[in-house]
């Protein structure tokens, strides 16, 4: 299916199912069940699965656009869908024939939801240095012990892509591995439901892994491949999904502010705020902020899809810049709309709370700029 048709379908679902569900997603912290199922039913669960296994074979640009459209309506729906696509990309990048049949085909058919489980309470934003232990019981089975934090779609997905210390406990940093673990595996213990300031529907939960038996067939790639996955797959797709989501938030805030300036009129003169020169100027600056950051994201994702080795810097920059853009635009929209935007349960209140996650979700904005600087100076990205 052509990309424009796929995006039209995403846009339709965003305007209908997601719009209907959005109040309960934020108001009640409800995981976006109906929105995710609608996307799966429309065949969009396989957005990044290759056509060979029933998917659409799309990449970073399509993911950015899909998350942007969803993010305009519900940031949680966008991120929950985005994390599914990131997990799918990780599984698909080096999938064995068995993994292709067990995971990729059901994902493309809309019958399987996956996600990432990388972050840990002991390493914070440094999610690429896992402490979760992987013990080889035999050639055919591993035992996993550890804990994960902020698992989006936690307790809702059908499988979880998680990172571990390699089978050699004395392994160097490049000795980390990745596994995919089905949700019905014994020993998975979920923490309490997510209650956040924003992104309230993410079901972003902690996960305790206690003597979890994992068949060796669920190892992704080879032992020690985790850092390859992080920088070749996780980082590009994860940063893209987040940047697209925050672009959607910024666009939604801009739309709210513009509509308010057009409709708000003074009773004593009949003039609308849209006729005020200062407000015209500030709205123009908001649009410029969004548009230049949007084009950076689109440019970065197109480079990534083309396999350009220089894509990593624009992708890192796009997510960092989008974090600033999103927070700045939402704040400016609240200023332009005055007291009406400050009411409890206003649309901008939701956008403000959701936007604040842009700087703190790993890898944080500060870490991204540090990586950029190190890359530009020829220094190792992961130096402490």
Claim to verify: residue 233 and residue 101 sit in the same structural domain: no
Shared domain for 221 and 94, answered yes or no, is no
Residues 271 and 367 in one domain: yes
- Compute φ and ψ for 165, nearest 5 degrees: -70, 145
Of 113, 138, 168, which residue is a domain's last?
113
**Closest C-alpha among 203, 209, 245 to residue 85:** 245
Flag whether 56 is in a domain. Answer: yes
Q: Could you list the mean pLDDT of each consecutive 10-residue stretch along the chain, which spans 384 residues?
A: 97 98 97 98 98 98 98 98 98 98 98 97 86 94 97 98 78 73 98 95 98 97 89 96 98 98 92 96 98 98 97 97 98 94 87 96 94 95 74
Verify that 244 and 190 share a domain, yes or no.
no
Say whether both 263 and 330 belong to one domain: yes
Q: What is the pLDDT of residue 169?
A: 53
| CATH code of 260's domain | 1.20.140.10
Q: Is 184 exposed, middle or buried (0-12, 13-18, 19+ CB in 10 A)?
A: exposed
Q: Residue length, the chain?
A: 384
Question: Is residue 298, in this structure, part of any structural domain at all?
Answer: yes
**E strand or H helix that includes residue 331:** helix 312-337
**Domain that includes residue 178, residue range:** 116-225
Kind of pairing between the strands at 141-151 and 159-165 = unpaired
d(CA 104, CA 305): 20
Query: What tokens were used for 166?
Result: 């390699």
pLDDT of residue 382: 83
Residues 59 and 137 in one domain: no
Contacts of 305 (CB under 8 A, 6+ apart): 59, 60, 61
Domain final residue, candidates 225, 258, 274: 225
- CATH no. for residue 156? 2.40.110.10
Pair (192, 282) in one structural domain: no
Whether residues 232 and 372 fall in one domain: yes
Domain identity same for 293 and 325:
yes
273, part of any domain: yes
CB 60 within 8 A of CB 237: yes
Residue 381 within a domain: no
Q: Are 154 and 105 members of one domain?
A: no
CB 58 within 8 A of CB 233: no
Q: How far apart are CA 228 and CA 6, in angstroms?
A: 30
Give the per-residue pLDDT at 384: 58
The verdict on 250 and 267 lying in the same domain is yes
158 DSSP β-pair partners: none
Rounded distance, CA 81 to CA 113, Å?
9
Paired sense of beta strands 176-182 and 159-165, if any: antiparallel
Omega within 30 of 0 (cis) for the link into 363? yes
Give residue 308's pLDDT. Answer: 97
Identify the CATH number of the domain in which residue 99 sits: 1.10.540.10
Task: Work out how many domains the chain is built from and give that number.
Answer: 3
Output the pTM of the full model: 0.96
Q: How far is CA 178 from the centre of its chain?
A: 19
Q: What is the pLDDT of residue 227?
A: 85
Are 201 and 74 spatial neighbours (Cβ–Cβ below 8 Å)?
yes
Asked whether residue 383 is assigned to any structural domain, the reply reads: no
Q: Note the pLDDT of residue 84.
A: 98
Q: How many angstroms separate the Cα of 27 from the Cα of each of 70, 123, 188? A: 18, 31, 29
For residue 77, count CB atoms less than 10 angstroms from its CB and return exposed for 0-12, middle for 13-18, buried for 19 or more: buried
Residue 384 lies in a domain: no
Q: What is the DSSP string of 217-274?
A: GGEESSTT-HHHHIIIIIHHHHHHHHHHHHHHHHHHHHHHHHHHHHH-B-TTT--BGG
**Beta carbons of 147 and 269 less than 8 angstroms apart:** no
Q: Which pLDDT does position 92 carry in this prediction?
A: 98
Cα distances (Å, whole numbers) of residue 64 to 48, 58, 166, 191, 212? 12, 11, 32, 30, 34
Instruction: Please indicate, yes or no, if residue 256 is contained in any of the structural domains.
Output: yes
**11 contacts 48 by C-beta, under 8 angstroms:** no
Give every CB contact of residue 183 below 8 A, 6+ residues apart in sequence.
157, 158, 159, 160
Residue at a domain's end among 113, 143, 175: 113
Same domain, yes or no, for 153 and 97?
A: no
Residue 382 lies in a domain: no
């Amino acid at each position: 299916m052509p990309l424009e048709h796929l995006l039209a379908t995403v846009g339709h679902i965003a305007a209908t199912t997601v719009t209907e569900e959005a109040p309960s997603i934020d108001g009640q912290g409800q995981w976006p069940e109906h929105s995710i199922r609608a996307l799966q039913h429309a065949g969009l669960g396989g957005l990044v699965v290759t056509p060979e296994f029933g998917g659409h074979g799309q990449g970073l640009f399509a993911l950015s656009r899909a998350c942007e459209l969803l993010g305009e309506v519900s940031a949680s729906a966008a991120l929950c869908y985005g994390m599914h696509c990131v997990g799918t990309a990780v599984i698909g990048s080096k999938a064995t024939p068995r993994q292709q049949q067990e995971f990729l085909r059901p994902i493309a058919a809309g019958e399987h939801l996956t996600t990432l489980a990388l972050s840990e309470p002991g390493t914070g934003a440094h999610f690429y240095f896992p402490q979760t232990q992987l013990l080889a019981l035999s050639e055919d089975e591993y035992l996993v012990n550890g804990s994960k934090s902020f698992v989006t779609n936690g307790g809702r997905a059908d499988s979880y892509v998680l990172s571990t210390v390699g089978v050699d406990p004395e392994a160097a940093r490049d000795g980390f591995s990745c596994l995919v673990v089905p949700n019905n595996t014994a020993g998975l213990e979920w923490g309490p439901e997510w209650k956040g300031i924003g992104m309230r529907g993410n079901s972003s939960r902690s996960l305790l892994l206690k003597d979890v038996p994992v068949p060796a067939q669920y190892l992704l790639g080879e032992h020690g491949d985790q850092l390859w996955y992080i920088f070749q797959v996780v980082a590009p797709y994860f940063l893209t999904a987040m940047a697209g989501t925050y672009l959607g938030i910024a666009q939604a805030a801009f739309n709210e502010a513009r509509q308010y300036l057009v409709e708000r009129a003074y009773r004593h003169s009949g003039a609308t705020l849209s006729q005020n020169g200062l407000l015209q100027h500030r709205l123009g600056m908001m649009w410029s902020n969004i548009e230049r950051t949007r084009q950076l994201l689109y440019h970065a994702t197109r480079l990534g899809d083309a396999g350009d080795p220089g894509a990593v810097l624009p992708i890192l920059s796009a997510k960092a810049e989008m974090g600033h853009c999103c927070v700045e635009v939402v704040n400016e929209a609240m200023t332009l709309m005055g007291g009406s935007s400050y009411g409890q349960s206003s649309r901008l209140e939701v956008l403000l709370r959701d936007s604040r996650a842009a700087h703190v979700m790993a890898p944080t904005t500060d870490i991204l700029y540090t990586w950029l600087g190190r890359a530009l100076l020829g220094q190792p990205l992961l130096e402490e």
